[in-house]
Amino acid sequence: MTSEPQGFACSVLIIEDEQGVRKLLRIALESHRCAVLESASAAEGLTMAAELRPDLIILDLGLPDLDGMAVIARLRQWSQTPIIVLSAQAREGDKVRALDAGADDYITKPFGVSELLARIRAALRHTVARTPDGAPIFETGALRVDLVQRSVTLGGTPVHLTGNEYRLLAALVKHAGKILSYDDLLREMFGTIGGGRGAHHLQVYISRLRHKIETAPDTPHYLLTATGAGYKLRAGG
């Protein structure tokens, strides 16, 4: 867990566009010695999560600027901070999608404050066994990837990637220095079944990405092949 603000047991970021819900949560959390951070939009919430590193995030799925599922996916590219979804969407499919995307818990509106506080306590207890968060900005050599702003530069020059190319690079950044198999990368990029794509598709994405981030794509410095095993991103140097 991150360092605790003086006088508080934890810090909680609420990403919720309904002011009334934020007020209710603030009152409940502050009465239990939690420092409360608030955001009414996904963009601001992602920035606050990166800069302020809260102990826990409460997230509404129906945000005005970005779908909550996408917010979970972006957070999970660099952070293991517990995420509790608070949503009016009560369908089982919505709950499964949120949990599969990386949420730790899902509570439907209207909700009981006592239950929510119990869920928060449980989520915070689980952080003890978690791996410490990675940094939201990854740098190796001249390559710089900002996972919050979703921007990539090489030697200070912006690199323009397609959605699939960025998802591939973000997956490699998340596990920098480690070998990821074809299946692992496809799951990271497209979900549990790899979006129906196979090794050939991945090789195409790898080739395209190398041509954008490597000075010499045929002798790559950053995106390395582990013959017969998969690929890895150089972690430093």
Task: Give the relative orientation of helices 182-190 and 199-213 as an angle to the nearest 10 degrees.
Answer: 80
Task: Sketch out the chain's domains with CATH numbers.
Answer: 10-129 (3.40.50.2300), 137-233 (1.10.10.10)
Give tens-digit pLDDT for 148-169: 888 999 999 999 999 889 989 9
Give tens-digit pLDDT for 89-122: 888 888 999 998 889 999 998 888 889 999 988 8
- Asked if 46 and 90 touch (Cβ cutoff 8 Å), the reply is no
| Tally: H helices and E strands in the chain | 8, 11
> In terms of Cα–Cα distance, which of 235, 44, 34 is closest to 134?
235
Output the pTM of the full model.
0.66
Beta bridge partners of 212: none
* Ramachandran angles phi, psi of 184, nearest 5°: -60, -45
- Asked if 120 and 104 touch (Cβ cutoff 8 Å), the reply is no
DSSP for 126-165, please give it: HGGGSPPPPPSEEEETTEEEETTTTEEEETTEE----HHH
- Asked if 110 and 167 touch (Cβ cutoff 8 Å), the reply is no
Q: How confident is the model at residue 9, as a pLDDT?
A: 65
Sign of the alpha-carbon dihedral angle for 214, 219, 221, 223: positive
Lookup result for tokens 């899902």: 106
Would you tell me how many other CB atoms lie within 10 Å of the CB of residue 203? 13
- Asked if 5 and 11 touch (Cβ cutoff 8 Å), the reply is yes
Residues of the chain with pLDDT under 70: 1-9, 126-135, 192-198, 237
